[in-house]
Structures are given as C-alpha cells and as structure tokens.
Chain A
C-alpha cells in the first residue's frame, strides 16, 4: 500500500510543478500586453483623464512600478493566501467572488457532458468491438466522426436557434429560470438540468465519436490477447468475457485520456457557454480579455488549470484502484 501512496505523492508533486508553471505563465503573459488598465477604464468613460485619479486608481489595482520580479513574488504570496486581487471590469469586486459561482456552473456543465459522453462512448465502443463488422461497428463510427468534424460552437448555434429560438423547446439562456430559487430543492435542480440539456447535448454529440473509437480500438487489441482466448475457451459466458475481461482492461487507457480530455472539454464548454449565455467561466474569460482585466484573466486561467489538475489527480486515484500494475 505504501507504494500506492508514493505513487500518488509523486503525481501530486508533478501537479504542483505544473501548477507553478501555469501560474508563472499566467503572471507574465498579461503583463506583456500593451495598454494600461487604469487608462482603459477612463477611455471607456470617454472623458478627460485626471492624472491624480489615475495614480490613485493604479494603486488600488496594485499596479505599481515595482520591478517585475518583486511583483511576481507579491503575486505568488497573494495567491497562496487566496487573494486573487480586484477585478478591473467588475471593480471593486474581488476576483474570487466573481469566479466562484461561475466555476461551479462550468464544472457542472462540462463535468456532466464529459461523464455522459465518456460512459456512452465507452459502452458503444465496447459493443462495436465485440461485434466487429456488425451494424453498430460499421455505421456509428463514420457518423459520429462526421458530427465530431463540426466546430463545437457551430453545432451549438444551430441547436440553439432550431430548438431554442425556432421551436421553443428549450430555454435560450442561463443556467436556471427566474421562477426558481437556487438551492437544494427539486424544482431548481430540474430546471438546472433542463437548462443544461441543450448545451450538454451539443458537447456530447461532438465528443462521443472520439471516446467510442478509442475504446473500440483498444478493445479490439485487448480481444486479441491470450487471456481472452483462454477465457473463451474455458466456456465463460460471452457477456462476462466482454465486460469483465476485455472491457475492464481496455478501459484503462481510455480512463487516462479522461483526465487529459477534461482540459479540452472545458475549452469546448467555454465556447458553448458563450453561445448559450451559460453563466460559467467562458464568457467571463472573453469579457476579461476584452476589458484587459488582468486579475480576472489570471484568476480564471488559474482556477481552470487547477480544476484540470485536480481532476487528473482524481483519475490517478481511480486508476490506482482499477489497475493493479500501478500498485506494484
């Protein structure tokens, strides 16, 4: 068991380094951008600039003339204490407050569609590989690949305007309706699922094919292994061979991909959110970039990165349970 803990700690160490790299990148990129946020605020105001007001505002945003390295350490120190600074676009709201609810919605939407797409894709892939050359195997992969070829947002646009705007079957925006109060109550939860349905559907449509194919392909390789032949020769029921012998082993690499895919799914979710006005991090990010809101941009990038890293770690733990080899 101690080796497992060692393994998890090693992974944790890696994620810590990855997080540090991301945070460092996160610090330097926005600072290389041209333009000064304080003057941008005033320019939006389209009025006369008052130099004294500028100086005062710059101080409030923590934009000092300190050397970059000094600013960098202050930044790291603030991060460790959970202080992401003050948003410029939503001045004077702290960034953490703006991000927190948005992050929950993004995780809900992206997580749900990822889980649906992963489990459905894996299941279909298993079936397709089991009955190789069958109807499922010859028809579904190209069809799904065709759907997967469309840009996420394009399908989202078409879906929104057909089923939302045209037919009126689904809501046009937001994560829940006006009539429900957010909280742990059934009407709210049902409403939230109802609102997430169409965005999640488009994301599942686009990503399903990938999961199915990779599962199908690993499954086919696994099915060629000796132990499968042996299990079949032993006369075990074919369903048992398929699920407990073949699929169980074939799912492992797919599962590693799950953690990796989270980053991509989040990216896709960000675009989908923008189309569906879903109150997640996607539109927030775009807004932050347009307003040159460094602190918000940094906060978003950081939370998304940490979410991906955290999910990867969870996948590591899951793999530990599923794959005995990691525990050796």
Chain B
C-alpha cells in the first residue's frame, strides 16, 4: 500500500518535471553533456597526442584549435567532461547520502543526538571551505578520489542542515506519529514513510551539491592541486593558464572549457528551478520549504531554524 502511494508521488513528480519548461531544457542540456562524456572519447582524436603547431587557431583539421602543446582542444574538451562530471555527480551523491544520514538522524531523534550532531554540522558549516580544501588536497595524492573526498568533507554540512530541518518538520506530522504508535521500526519509518516525501528536497540537494562540486573541483584543479597529467576541465584551464593562453590571445584554449562548465552548471540550476516550481504548489503545507532549496552554489540558501542550534 505504502509503496504504491510512493510510486504515484514519484510518478507525479517526474511528470511535473517533464512538463516544466525550465526543468526540461535543463535536463536536456545536462543529458547531452553526459552523452558527450560517455561516448566522446571514442569518437575524437587522441587528446594527449602532440599533433600540430602549438596554439594554432580553430581550423578544419582542429575545430577548436590546438593547445600550447599542439594537442587538439576539441578532443581535450570532450574527454575532460568525463572525469569532471563523474567527480561532480559522485560528490553530489555522497554529499546527499551523508547529509541525509546525519541530518536525518539528527532531525528524527532530536534531543541529545540532535545536540551533538547539529553541533558538528554547524562547525563544518562555519569552517571556511576553500582553505581547508586546498590544505587537504595538497596533502593527499592528487587524483579524482582525493578531489571527491575533499569536496565531500567540505560540502556535506549544508545538506545535512537542510535535511535535518525538513526531517524535524515531517517528524511532527500525523502520519509519522501514527506509524510510531503502530509500532513500526524507526529505520522503516525513516526510509519508507519520510524519505519519499523528501524526494524533491533530496533531488535538489543532489543537484545543488553537484553544481558546487563541479565549480570547486575546477577551482582546485586550476590551482594545480588536481592530477595535472589527466585530462579534465579543470586541468584544461590549468594548462591554458600555464601556456599563457590569454597573453598569446589564444582564447580557444580556455573559452570552450569555461563555456562547457557554465552550461552544465546552468543546466543543473534550471532543473532546480523546475523542481522548485513543480513541487511547491503541491506541498502546500510545506510551503516554507521552498526556502531550503539551494540556489546555484548552495551557499546562499537560507534556513528558518535560527534559534534551534543556539
């Protein structure tokens, strides 16, 4: 019975997204990049090969020109998508997982558990992210695993806080009380009763965290803290700056990558707009939750629970 109901929530939700113009165009944008990341490397030339005169402008043989080392920029842009997106979405996934776990437990149980957990959440929240990221990233061996780890460590707290507030709101609702009275196990209540109702929040948290992860990852790699011998969007920009692309007027070495990053983030933001617009009218009693939605980088959202962790 319960599953059936949840299915229909999910179904209605997906239908709503498809009918929302913003969400649809955002999804298409993001999906096309995922497609490029998946099949791109099989259809381009070897992005590592030193092919032509360095820094030659776009031409027929190299649509996006060549890098400072004579590699094909188009091939590099396409193969850079893969690791960047994997790290971005993996971070988004783990951030939401940890956020749901800690925030959910904290919000559901309340009391002492909440005191301790929300204290930890708040400590991570006020700690400045980038310096911590830079220090961690320079200490760990460079690579996608390190990047994901560092981004998760510095990024989970925001989602935990948002999910905690939502959990606290749902915890007091009748259907939860009813489930508790009927003797259902807490785990079951959380997973079966509450989580499906948080679907759109989790989805938009995932998207917000992925946006943050893509931006921060590119930033770290640009500083040379990633593995610069692999090809990602961040290392593409690192090399462009290293080869003084702008000084030599070779805009083609950094514009495609920058635009790609912006398009992916923008596409994700559009999806979030869509989720926001679709979910809000239906969840009338939760009208306030609109406030929780991470907008853009997830840093500027707000939360109404000012007093609770004082």
Q: Which positions in A face B, CB cutoff 8 Å?
A: 7, 10-11, 14-15, 17-18, 21-22, 25, 29-30, 32-33, 141-142, 145-146, 148-154, 157-158, 161, 165, 207, 209-211, 213-214, 217-218, 220-221, 224, 252-254, 256-257, 260-261, 263-264, 266-268, 270-271, 274, 285-286, 289-290, 297, 300-301, 304-305, 308-309, 312, 319, 323, 325-326
Q: Which of chain B's residues have a CB closer than 8 A to the CB of A270? A: 130-131
Q: Which of B65-73, B132-140, B190-198 contacts A (4 or more CB under 8 A)?
A: B132-140
Known contacts A253-B302, A270-B130, A308-B128: does B122 contact A148 (CB below 8 Å)? no
B295 partner residues in chain A, CB cutoff 8 A: 209-210, 213-214, 217
Residues of chain A with a CB closer than 8 A to B269's CB: 145, 148-149
Query: Does B237 lie within 8 Å of A221, measured CB to CB?
Result: no
B283 lies within 8 A of chain A by Cβ: no
Given contacts A157-B254, A271-B219, contact A221 B290 (CB under 8 A): yes
- The CA-CA distance from A214 to B288 in the complex, in Å, is 12
Nearest CB on A from B216, distance (A): 8
Contact A157 B122 (CB under 8 A): no
Check B287–A319 contact: CB distance below 8 A: no
Contact assessment for B293 and A217 in the assembled complex, using a CB-CB cutoff below 8 Å = yes
Q: CA–CA, A33 to B134, complex, Å?
A: 13
Per-residue interface assignment for chain B, residues 99 to 124, with 1 indicating a CB less than 8 Å from any chain A CB and 0 otherwise: 00000000000000000000100110
Tell me, yes or no, whether B179 is within 8 Å of chain A by CB.
Answer: no
- Please give the distance in Å from B164's CB to the nearest CB on chain A: 15
B residues 266-301 near A (Cβ < 8 Å) are 266, 269-270, 273, 276, 287-288, 290-291, 293, 295-297, 299-301
Cβ–Cβ contact B131 & A285, under 8 A: yes
Are A326 and B265 also in contact (CB < 8 A) when A30-B139, A264-B129 are?
no
Is B300 in contact with A257, judged by CB distance below 8 angstroms?
A: yes
In the complex, which residue of chain B has the Cβ closest to the Cβ of A32? B139
Contact across chains for A289 and B138 when beta carbons are under 8 A apart: yes
A148-B269, A154-B258, A264-B299 known; 15 other A-B pairs, CB under 8 Å? Answer: A14-B310, A17-B123, A145-B266, A145-B270, A148-B296, A157-B241, A213-B295, A217-B293, A221-B290, A253-B304, A256-B303, A263-B129, A264-B129, A267-B133, A326-B306
CB-CB contacts of B250-269 with A at 8 A, as 1s and 0s?
00001000100111111001
Q: Is the CB of A224 within 8 A of B287?
A: yes
B127 in contact (CB, < 8 A):
yes
B125 at the interface (CB under 8 A from A): yes
Q: In the assembled complex, which residues on chain B have CB atoms less than 8 Å from the CB atom of A221?
A: 287-288, 290-291
Task: List 16 A–B pairs whose Cβ atoms lie within 8 Å, in order of A's numbering.
Answer: A11-B310, A14-B119, A25-B127, A29-B135, A145-B296, A149-B265, A151-B222, A161-B246, A218-B291, A253-B304, A257-B301, A270-B131, A271-B219, A285-B134, A304-B131, A305-B126
* Chain A nearest CB, measured from B134 CB (Å): 6
Is B218 on the interface with A (CB-CB < 8 A)? yes
Kindly list chain B residues whose C-beta atoms are within 8 Å of the C-beta of A224: 287
Contacts of B310 in A (CB 8 A): 7, 10-11, 14
Using CB atoms, name the residue of chain A closest to B269.
A145
Q: Which residue of A lies closest to B237 (CB)?
A: A154
> Which chain B residues border A207 with CB–CB below 8 Å?
300
Looking at the assembled complex, report how far the CB atom of B203 sits from the nearest CB atom of chain A, in whole angstroms: 17
User: Given A257-B302, A305-B127, is A151 in contact with B139 using a C-beta cutoff of 8 Å?
Assistant: no
User: Within 8 Å of chain A (Cβ to Cβ): is B215?
Assistant: yes
